[in-house]
Structure 1
Amino acid sequence: MLAFISFIGFTLFVAGFAYYKTHNAHLTNSAEGYFLGGRSLTGVYIGGSMLLMNLSTEHLVGLNGLSFRTGFIVMAWEVMAAMTIVLFAIFFLPRYLKLGISTIPEFLERRFDKQTLTITSFLFLGMYVISLLPIVLYTGAIALESLFQVSTVFNVDKTTALWLVVWGVGGMGAIYAVFGGIKAIAIADTINGVGLITGGLMVTFFALSYVGDGDVWQGLVDVYNTNPGKFNSIGDKDSLVPFSTLFTGLIVSNMFFWCTNQSIVQKALGAKNLAEGQKGVLLCAFFKLMIPSIIILPGIIAFHIFQGQIDNPDHAYPNLVQLVLPEVLVGFFAAVVVGAVFSTFSGGLNSSVTLFTVNIFKKSLKPDATEAQIVAVGKYLGLGLALTAMIVAPLVANAPDGLFYLIQQLQGIFNSPILSVVLVGLLTKRVPAIAAKLGLLFGMSAYILFNFVIQVDIHFFHLVGLLFVVNVVFMLTVGYFYPQEAYVEVYTEQVDIQPWSMVKPVSLLIALGSVSMYIYLAQNVPSWVMGGYNIFAIASLAYVFWSIARELMKSPRVARRAQDNA
């Protein structure tokens, strides 16, 4: 009963607060208000929304399931993410805001042509419907079934219980997305993000305390000493995610997700100015460095506690939560899990709706559509996509290498071709539209052929990296022999694009944290490498502290105090 009360209480609080902050009609009746929050989002909301759009039950359940199997090597997705988020803040976001775009395909239309926009929009829609929305719902259902024993409460089998949870959570998530718009999602995401990090850290704390008989540090020592191989950040050649993939397809996958994926980028496109956007993006990057303690370490602790004896690794984290959390906190954490599902599910729906209404309905099907008609079509489409995802969700059960791994494999269909076209479009001026269209179609079809049909003997991340390089070289070659008239960027002046003064030192600090996690967790690192890196780290920190001190001296309060002292 305590668990249920805390669950309902936190859920109602989030919904009520989001409604209170977004009840102004213009935020949901105009296209810009509905899809971009009226370009009024501040750094805290952007960072929280980006984090929770990414961090959901496919991480809590899926990535902890992978770490249960393979250990800390799977932190590659999170640690490399922080590096690519920095790249987004410094390189991609200023250009997007300067152009005043609402979607990534909209940029591709300006840079290439309308057909490129249409192809990319359908690729994004396919990615959300195939590889994101159903799996998020299913992993959320697994977690809630384990936490609340839905099958026992309703006296049904577990399969039926999973269907019930999928439809319940999916229906509520659709309400958030369809009737609230992106600002409601961003505000709810921020609250749920705080709850998710707090709840996730509590699970880790209580799990280590359980292992150490009340002593958290001793619990960590026991887990490490018993399973030292699980903590190796490098892994071995037989790892599910070999270390070498960091330099091929894994970095491509991360760059696509954090720099060009509509559902993530859309949060930052709603920034009131570039400085707030960069603050929010880098805040998200800081949190990503904390995330391994929430979505990787618990999987290893579960391996230690259950001695590896769990039939399905995707059930490791829900079982751990049920074992170590007090009853009142189980309800709170279940509410946070539901919030995480809402975030990713509703964010994916909102992005899908934006892509269709802005890039297909408005541009090709009904160019004279009014603002009200665009929003109405978006709401109907959102409901349709939500129903489709809820029907498909339970069909993804029993993925052979885990649900998170399945997501990454499926997204390989889309990430390499889309990233290659966006990057070439940003960095070159004369590559023609035909090269972009052929690159999109070739990248998608080649990956499906080699990874799913022929099943070549190569890790799918290496295949993603190889196809990315082939795509870029192909487009540049076409542009060399058949150049188009140079593309001219136009600053729309919709928002101020003056960068945040601390963006470079903060970015360096985040990059340093990312590399340090690999260096200090790696086993058998030569002493000369450690010594050299320590010198580099000290020099980098000195630059960061000097930059902070310089910025503080520029503040009006400090300047006035210095003038008074003089």
Structure 2
Amino acid sequence: MLTTLITFFLFTAGVAVISWWFTRKTEMSHSSVGYFLGGRNLTAVLITASLLLTNLSTEHLVGLNGSAYAFGMEVMAWETVAALALVLMAIYFLPRYLKMGLVTITEFLELRYDKQTRVICSGLFLLLYITTLLPIVLYTGAISMESIFDVSKNLHIDKLTAIAIMVVGIGILGSLYAILGGLKAVAISDLINGIGLIIGGSLIPILAFTKIGDGHFLAGVNTVFQAVPDRFNAIGESTSDVPFSVLFTGMFIPQIFYWTMNQSIIQRAFAAKNLAEGQKGVLLTAFFKIFIPFVVVVPGIIAFFYFKNSLNDPDYAYPELVKAVLPVSLIGIFAAIVVGAILSTFNGALNSASTLFSIDIYKGYVNQNATETQIVKIGRISGTIMAIVAIILAPFISMAGKGLYIILQEFSSIFNMPIFAIIISGLLLPKVSAKAAKIGLITGTSLYLFSKFGMEAMGVHIHFLHRLAVAFIITILTLVIASRYYPRKNNFVIHDTGAVNVENWKYVKPACIFIAILTIVVFILLSPIGIIPKQ
């Protein structure tokens, strides 16, 4: 146990020191672009690492592996389909965003609609981060630490208290990166932790298969596959957790929203030194996302076989498998890597939340003449307050029940879908007006809430992604109809601000085609017409 703790603290401290070293001479304290966008100087490698680590955290390692334990390979759609959304980001959204020189996605909403629409959406984003994303990241991270280190047993306390202690510790450490270091410190730490997570995360299923195969990796793969072949089928049945049909209805909404409109993600791409670097970073991320299920889905299937479906809570499948197959000498380092993944998502979302508050709300309404120094100061203060709120809420996540990843997706859609509708309409439908956008926000939110709570109260149970697709279509129709009664005076035109070079990467189109084909091939292979035997 002592060796585990020592290696854990050494690795974690090492990442912090390296991040400080590479950002110590960066002028951030008095510049909002420097603090929130790393000076618009991120290269493709840093963008890829930051995108992956901001996205990949314990809600995936714990939550998605837990869903895989309960349902099987079908849940990989949440990861693999993201590659197609990133292709859209590279070829359509990012060129337009960088051309406008955006710092926040809500800036676009003010340019396209009006200031009120921007502030309303900023408020919805902040609610999403504070009440859903940040607490779930902290809670799933605490589950990992409790399971790996047996905190409750070693401190002779109950599990809820142990998780609360872990939440506070992780929350404080993550806040220090985001509040004191800004985006560049986050990106540097992401690069180090990203390398560690890819290596360490891949090591878990490799070691597990090798152990099951008595020292032979392929023998272990064959043993698990032959024992539970249905678990490797990526094509979900109509009654499953992720039925295949949702890939053609509502799945595109959270995927495209998350990878092209979610501030905590696209802020990394906004920080690109030019469009070509941004496109390379986004598409490299897409390539990795196709294979990420080996890290965040396959271990859940292995755990189902290894523990003979005996775990009471699927969300403990991953940390328990780590303890079962990882040598004791490596547990401390792996725990540090997991904490790095937690911190990456937490501090990335916190940095983005403070960006939205300080620029959209503080400078937009409270102090329109705020200096750059004041904006950064408010960003740090608001980040601190939001971190405290998330830390307080996180322990109560346990009351939400099992299947944390699905819970995150379903409740996030309350905020995501209406914003997605008005942003996509703003880009594709030049005549949609500001008043119509506000009507659409109210309509979209009300429709989804009714489909979630009203229909279920009436005994009508339809998969939330199907409901989401219907609510989205009605919201778009509402925007179009409302714009006929409240028309826009002139069509919106995107102007080049010259913030960065917006010349396309010369290989962007063939790279996009390759990724799209590869995504389809993976689904075909993991289907009854591929390697999965028919039942």
TM over 0.5: yes
Aligned positions of 1:481-560 closer than 5 A: 482-484=486-488, 485-524=490-529
Instruction: Name the CA distance, whole Å, in 2 between partners of 1:305 and 1:184.
Output: 39
**Distance in 1 of aligned mates of 2:503 and 2:25:** 29
The SS at the match of 2:85 is helix
Match of 1:19 in 2: 20
Q: Does the aligned pair in 2 maintain the 1:28–1:180 contact within 8 Å?
A: no
Q: Which residue of 1 aligns with 2:467?
A: 463
Counterpart Cα distance in 1 of 2:355 and 2:243: 36
The code of the aligned residue for 2:116 comes to Q
Q: What residue in structure 1 maps to residue 65 of structure 2?
A: 64
For residues 516 and 356 of structure 1, what CA distance do their matches in structure 2 show?
A: 42
**Contact in 1 for aligned 2:250/2:468 (Cα 8 Å):** yes
Instruction: Map 1:69-148 to 2 at 5 A.
Output: 69-148=70-149
Q: CA deviation at 1:399?
A: 3.3
- Whichever residue aligns with residue 263 of structure 1, its letter is S
AA in 1 matched with 2:436: A
Query: SS at 1:380's partner residue?
Result: helix
Equivalent-residue separation in structure 2 for 1:28 and 1:349 (angstroms) = 17
Q: Hey, what's the Cα distance between the residues in 1 that align with 2:214 and 2:327?
A: 15
**Aligned-residue offset at 1:278:** 0.5
374-383 or 22-31: bigger deviation: 22-31
Matching residue within 473, 480, 488 for 1:476: 480
For residue 190 of structure 1, what is the aligned residue in structure 2?
Answer: 191
Residue 404 of structure 1 is matched in structure 2 by 405
Q: Which 4+ stretches in 1 moved above 4 angstroms?
A: none
Query: Quick one: distance in 1 between partners of 2:529 and 2:26?
Result: 60
Query: How far apart are 1:159 and its partner, in Å?
Result: 1.2
Q: CA deviation at 1:24?
A: 2.2
Structure 1 match to 2:226: 225
Identity of aligned residues (%): 48
Residues 246-299 of structure 1 deviation map (CA, whole Å, 9 limit, x = unaligned): 111111110010010010010000000000000111111111112110000000
Instruction: State the shift of 1:481 in Å.
Output: 5.1
2:178 corresponds to: 177
1:308-457 pair list within 5 angstroms: 308-455=309-456, 456-457=460-461
Provide the C-alpha distance between the structure 2 equivalents of 1:22 and 1:499, rounded to a whole number of angstroms: 29
Distance 2:474 2:208 in 1: 46
Q: Say what the alpha-carbon RMSD is for the aligned residues.
A: 1.3
Conservation of the 8 A alpha-carbon contact between 1:82 and 1:289: yes
- How far the C-alpha of 1:27 sits from its partner, in A, is 2.2
Q: Is the 8 A contact 2:315 2:402 kept in 1?
A: no
Structure 1 residue 477: Cα displacement: 2.6
How far off is 1:166 after superposition? 0.4
Q: Offset at 1:346?
A: 0.5
3-state DSSP of counterpart to 2:39: helix
Q: 2 CA distance for matches of 1:92 and 1:19?
A: 32
Indicate the structure (1 or 2) with the bigger Cα radius of gyration.
Answer: 1
Q: Report the TM-score, using the length of structure 2 for normalisation.
A: 0.96
Q: Residues 406-447 of structure 1, C-alpha deviation per residue, up to 9 Å, x if partnerless?
A: 101111101211111111111122211011111112111221
Cα distance in 2 between the residues matched to 1:398 and 1:334? 25
Native 8 Å contact 1:37 1:270 kept in 2: yes
Q: Secondary structure at the match of 1:164?
A: helix
What does the per-residue CA deviation read over 1:172-198, in whole Å, with 9 as the maximum and x for residues that have no partner? 001111000011101111111111111
Given residue 483 of structure 2, which amino acid in structure 1 is its aligned partner?
A: G
Q: Deviations over 1:450-509 (max 9, x none)?
A: 203442421111111111111112212333454311122211001000011111111111
**3-state secondary structure, aligned to 1:241:** coil
Match of 1:556 in 2: none
Give the whole-Å Cα distance in 1 for the aligned partners of 2:81 and 2:485. Answer: 36
Q: Match of 2:168, SS?
A: helix
Aligned residues between the structures: 526
Amino acid at match of 2:259: W
Deviates more, 1:298-307 or 1:281-290: 281-290
8 Å CA contact retained: 2:146, 2:163: yes
Q: Normalized against structure 1, the TM-score is what?
A: 0.91
CA distance in 2, matches of 1:239, 1:457: 13
Rounded Cα–Cα distance in structure 1 between residues aligned with 2:362 and 2:202: 44
SS at match of 2:29: helix
User: Could you tell me how far apart the structure 2 residues matched to 1:446 and 1:483 are?
Assistant: 23
SS of 1:354 mapped into structure 2:
helix
Distance in structure 2 (CA, Å) of the matches to 1:42 and 1:79 = 24
CA distance in 2, matches of 1:451, 1:424: 24
Could you list the runs of 5+ residues in structure 2 that have no partner in the other structure?
none
Deviation by residue 1:185-226 (Cα, 9 ceiling, x = unmatched): 011111111111111101111111111111011101111100
The letter of the residue matching 1:88 is M
What secondary structure does 2:430 align onto? coil
Contact 1:63 1:295 (8 Å CA) reproduced: yes
In 2, distance between residues paired with 1:99 and 1:26?
A: 24
Query: Which range moved further: 231-240 or 268-277?
Result: 231-240
Deviations 1:330-369 (A, max 9, x none): 1111001111111111011111111111111101110011
1:478 is aligned with what amino acid?
A: A
Return the alpha-carbon distance in structure 2 between the equivalents of residues 125 and 442 of structure 1.
20
Asked if the contact 2:455–2:461 (Cα under 8 Å) also holds between the matched residues in 1, the reply is: no
Partner Cα separation in structure 1 for residue 24 and residue 442 of structure 2: 42
Separation in 2, partners of 1:446, 1:524:
38
CA distance in 2, matches of 1:192, 1:248: 35
CA contact (8 A) 2:290 2:519 kept: yes
Residue equivalent to 1:561:
none
SS in 1 for 2:214: coil
